[in-house]
């Protein structure tokens, strides 16, 4: 029973972290139709910035705020000075789909190289702001701590804020319109380029939050977010790539599948489980489990 409770709570905690990365991927996908592989680099860069702030101030909380804000700034800068010029120059042919994705891969390499140059490639660590000691359930210490709970709360708050932003504000409507139909949005007077930059900024902030919450308990090094990127990407695909709810739901499905298979069958099943779930979803519902319904034919 204790093992089951531990598995459920750990699944939630893991899924929450995957969800933040999945949200970042979905936000960029929705606004530009690009899978942003550089998100792993952006998240690790903001985490290094957070790490530096902790070194100077000793405060995880100040570092968290700085990491989220710098994530937003880095996201906006990447879109304004890197992606937007690419979109302007690449206008037709198959390269339209390929060039931006390849560009994000290149950017990932550049960011990781710069991090290695500035901070070095040795492992660093960030101490969690609250206890990472597991709770005691029926006399047994389980692998779920105050810190895991904190992560869950933060992800829930981030989801709530993003949902309110997208569904209840004019900016959210502009973001949704620009994502679904940039042309109609432009013809309606919406400054789509600026709105897309905002989308990249929000995605960058989400990635920054994911990085700062993910690293305590792991080591910080230039490639530290590569695994999280893969899992976030799988979660986003499971969810259908289009909705924030889908991203979170996909991340939770992935979290539960991985934790339960590694707990009850074999720890070696971590990667196989992730990819088996992905392939099953692609076979059964290629558009993802929570893809928007197709519209009625005119």
Partner 1 sequence: MSLIVEGLTIDHGAIRAINNVSFKVAQGQLAAIIGANGAGKTTLLRTLSGLKDATSGNASWNGASILGKRAEDLARSGIMHVSDGKSVIAELSVKDNLALTGLWRKDKKDVVAATNEVIELFPILGQRMSQSAGSLSGGERQMLAIGRALIARPKLLLLDEPSLGLAPLIVEQIFQTIKSLVKKMDLTVVLVEQNAMGALKIADQGIVLNLGSVVLVDSADKLLNDPAVRSAYLGF
Listed residue (224, 28, 209, 271) closest to 125, CA to CA: 224
The nearest distance, CB 91 to partner 1, in angstroms, is: 10
Residues in 246-265 that interact with partner 1 by CB under 8 A? none
Nearer to partner 1, 122 or 295 (CB): 295
List beta partners, residue 145.
134
Query: Exactly one of 56, 88, 89, 296 binds partner 1 (CB under 8 A); which one?
Result: 296
E strand or H helix at 142, and its extent?
strand 140-145
Q: Would you say 56 or 88 has its CB closer to partner 1?
A: 88
298 is a site residue for partner 1 (CB under 8 A): yes
Q: How far is the CB of 93 from partner 1 (least distance, A)?
A: 11
Cβ-based nearer residue to partner 1, 138 or 298: 298
The answer to whether residues 226 and 38 touch, using CB atoms and an 8 Å cutoff, is no
- In the complex with partner 1, the residue whose CB is nearer, 139 or 189, is 189
Q: At what angle do helices 146-168 and 2-32 cross, to 10 degrees?
A: 30
Residue 122 or 170 with smaller CB distance to partner 1: 170
> At closest approach, how far in Å is the CB of 194 from partner 1?
9
* Least separation in angstroms between CB 177 and partner 1: 6
> What's the min distance (Å) between Cβ of 190 and partner 1?
6
- Both tokens of 96, joined, read 């339209």
Q: What are phi and psi of 144, to 5 degrees?
A: -140, 120
Integer Cα distance of 240 and 246 in angstroms: 6
109-148: contacts with partner 1 (CB under 8 A):
none
The Cα–Cα gap between 30 and 251 comes to: 17
How far are the Cα atoms of 13, 235, 254, 270, 284 from residue 276, in angstroms, in the given order?
21, 12, 10, 10, 12
In the complex, the smallest distance separating the C-beta of residue 291 from partner 1, rounded to whole angstroms, is: 11
Q: Which is nearer to partner 1, 59 or 188 (CB)?
A: 188
| Binding of partner 1 by 26 (CB under 8 A) | no
DSSP designation for 295: P
Which residue lies nearer to partner 1 by CB, 89 or 293?
Answer: 293
* 88 is a site residue for partner 1 (CB under 8 A): no
User: DSSP string spanning 186-234?
Assistant: HHTT--HHHHHHHHHHHHHHHHHHHHHHHSBTB-B-TTTTHHHHHHHHH
Q: Smallest distance from the beta carbon of 292 to partner 1, in angstroms?
A: 6
What count of other Cβ atoms lies within 10 Å of the Cβ of residue 12? 19
Q: What is the DSSP letter of 79?
A: I
| 158 token code pair | 């981030």
Number of residues that bind partner 1 (CB under 8 A): 23
Shortest distance, CB of residue 285 to partner 1, whole angstroms? 18
Q: Closest CB to partner 1 among 1 and 187?
A: 187
- By CB under 8 A, the residues from 167 to 206 that bind partner 1 are 170, 173-174, 176-177, 180-181, 183-192
Which residue from 223, 200, 282 is spatially nearest to 34, judged by alpha carbons? 200
276-295 binders of partner 1 (CB under 8 A): 292-295
**Residue ranges in contact with partner 1 by CB under 8 A:** 170, 173-174, 176-177, 180-181, 183-192, 292-296, 298
């Amino acid at each position: 029973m204790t093992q089951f409770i531990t598995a459920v709570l750990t699944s939630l905690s893991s899924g929450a972290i995957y969800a933040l990365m999945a949200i970042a991927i979905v936000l960029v996908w929705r606004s530009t139709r690009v899978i942003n592989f550089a998100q792993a680099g952006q998240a690790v860069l903001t985490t290094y910035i957070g790490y530096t702030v902790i070194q100077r101030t000793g405060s995880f909380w100040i570092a968290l705020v700085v990491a989220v804000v710098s994530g937003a700034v880095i996201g906006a800068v990447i879109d304004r000075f890197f992606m937007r010029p690419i979109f302007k120059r690449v206008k037709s042919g198959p390269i339209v789909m390929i060039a931006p994705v390849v560009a994000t891969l290149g950017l990932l390499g550049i960011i990781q190289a710069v991090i290695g140059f500035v901070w070095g490639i040795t492992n660093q660590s960030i101490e969690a702001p609250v206890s990472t000691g597991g709770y005691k359930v029926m006399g047994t210490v389980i692998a779920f701590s105050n810190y895991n709970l904190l992560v869950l709360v933060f992800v829930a708050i981030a989801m709530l804020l993003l949902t309110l932003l997208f569904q209840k504000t004019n900016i959210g409507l502009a973001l949704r319109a620009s994502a679904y139909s940039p042309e109609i949005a432009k013809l309606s007077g919406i400054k789509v380029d600026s709105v897309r930059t905002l989308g990249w900024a929000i995605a960058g902030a989400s990635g920054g939050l994911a990085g700062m919450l993910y690293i305590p308990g792991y080591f910080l090094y230039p490639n530290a977010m590569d695994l999280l990127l893969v899992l976030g990407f799988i979660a986003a695909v499971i969810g259908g790539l289009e909705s924030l709810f889908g991203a979170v739901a996909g991340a939770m499905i992935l979290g539960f599948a991985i934790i339960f298979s590694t707990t009850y069958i074999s720890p070696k099943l971590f990667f196989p489980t992730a990819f088996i779930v992905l392939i099953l979803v692609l076979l059964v519902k290629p558009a993802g489990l929570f893809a928007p319904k197709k519209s009625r034919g005119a």
